[in-house]
Copies of this chain bind each other. A is one copy, B any other.
Amino acid sequence: MITLSDVAKKANVSKMTVSRVINHPGQVTDELKQLVFAAMKDLDYRPNVAAKALANNRSQVIKFFILEDIDTTEPYYMNLLFGIAKGLDEKQYALQLVTSRNYDLGNSDGYIITGARAKDQEWLDRLEKPAVVFGENRYGYDFVDTDNKQGTTMATEYAIAKNYQSLVFIGIDVKEAFEYSREAGFINTMQQHQMIPKIYRMANHSHLSEQFINDNWQKFARNTAFICASDRLAIGIVRGLAHHDAAIPNDFGVFGFDGVFLDQVSNPKLATVKQPIQEIGRLCARMLLQKIAQSGSPQGELLVTPELVIRDSMRK
């Protein structure tokens, strides 16, 4: 294994100079820097992460908490995880996944937390290391999320522009910030266009939204678009409509929200508000690492603009 010392010898400098080239390059002359870089390249030097961690009193590990049942979990966590992993890799950090709440909090430098609901607040407050939350919250925790409000705004605007006369929002029956934001985007946009917002809410299961269409089929005239708070709900709506041989997208439009995986297994394929989940994961990681570097100073919130993906469930 190539160590700092090897590089130092090759470059005829001391270990510290090499270390400084890596961590505080400003303190070293350009001349020496060149020498050191050349030596590092020649020897294909890879810093030893464990040694670095020990010397810095760090662990180079961050823990990722999923405070939700994994089985019911949306597949997009996979993408989130990849984004996080990429963000951590940039700074040679590794990852530990944690599901059960009472897990060991030690041997890590910080936490990324997802699936946090209102009831988790107390637990979050007790954390002693830097933490970043994935998902909007209104308790002041640093977070990264999709701009949910903007997402439904875009979808609603699109549906209006395509001349659907009546718009219905199918929401998720939870009292959480992300849902409020999605509803707000819909409501505000409708009001700006002097249209009447209609909202229904149910648990996030496709068979419930399917059932909902079956139960209320006669209520919905042609030329209605359903703006859904998730692809899961949207899939059920599509199935319900298909069951009544409704013409999608001509007579009825359906917009999903998420854009990970599920939108592709529907038929017709779903138009959806696609969250840049992987990018969000990377941003979570970066925010956390920065927070660690700044010994825990607040990072605020980061909202990422989603992308409208128009497919066969909405008029083109």
Interface residues of A (CB under 8 A from B): 1, 46, 48-51, 53-54, 57-61, 70, 73, 75, 77-79, 81-82, 85-86, 88-89, 92, 94-97, 99, 104, 106-107, 206-207, 210, 232, 235-236, 239, 261-262, 265, 267, 278
- A232 pairs with B96, CB closer than 8 A: no
Given contacts A75-B261, A78-B73, A85-B97, contact A267 B207 (CB under 8 A): yes
Q: Which residues of B contact A50 (CB under 8 A)?
A: 50-51, 53-54, 58-60
A37 CB to closest chain B CB (Å) equals 18
Q: Chain B CB within 10 Å — which of A57, A82, A86, A265 has the most? A: A265
Q: Which residues of B contact A278 (CB under 8 A)?
A: 70
Q: Chain B CB within 10 Å — which of A92, A96, A104 has the most? A: A96
- Residue of B46, B78, B265 near A107 (CB, 8 A) is B46
- B75 pairs with A79, CB closer than 8 A: no
- B107 pairs with A49, CB closer than 8 A: yes
- B46 pairs with A106, CB closer than 8 A: yes
- A94 pairs with B61, CB closer than 8 A: yes
- Residue of B79, B210, B262 near A70 (CB, 8 A) is B79
Q: Which residues of B contact A95 (CB under 8 A)?
A: 94-97
> 10 closest Cβ contacts across the A-B interface?
A75-B75, A85-B97, A50-B53, A94-B94, A50-B54, A46-B106, A61-B94, A78-B78, A49-B107, A95-B95
Interface pairs (23), CB distance under 8 Å: A1-B57, A46-B106, A46-B107, A48-B54, A48-B107, A49-B61, A50-B53, A54-B54, A70-B82, A75-B78, A77-B78, A78-B78, A78-B81, A85-B97, A94-B94, A94-B95, A95-B97, A206-B265, A206-B267, A207-B267, A232-B265, A239-B267, A262-B265
Q: Which residues of B contact A207 (CB under 8 A)?
A: 267
Q: Which residues of B contact A107 (CB under 8 A)?
A: 46, 48-49, 92
Q: Across the two chains, which residue of chain B brings its CB closest to A2?
A: B106
Q: Which residues of B contact A261 (CB under 8 A)?
A: 75
| Assembled-state Cα–Cα distance A104/B232 (Å) | 38
Q: Which residues of B contact A232 (CB under 8 A)?
A: 265
Q: Which residues of B contact A78 (CB under 8 A)?
A: 70, 73, 75, 77-78, 81
| Assembled-state Cα–Cα distance A46/B107 (Å) | 8
| Assembled-state Cα–Cα distance A122/B104 (Å) | 40
| Assembled-state Cα–Cα distance A95/B62 (Å) | 10
| Assembled-state Cα–Cα distance A267/B239 (Å) | 8
A69 CB to closest chain B CB (Å) equals 11
- B54 pairs with A59, CB closer than 8 A: no
**Beyond A70-B278, A86-B97, 17 extra complex contacts between A and B, CB < 8 Å:** A1-B57, A46-B104, A48-B54, A49-B107, A50-B58, A50-B60, A70-B78, A70-B79, A77-B78, A81-B81, A85-B96, A89-B96, A95-B96, A95-B97, A207-B267, A232-B265, A265-B265
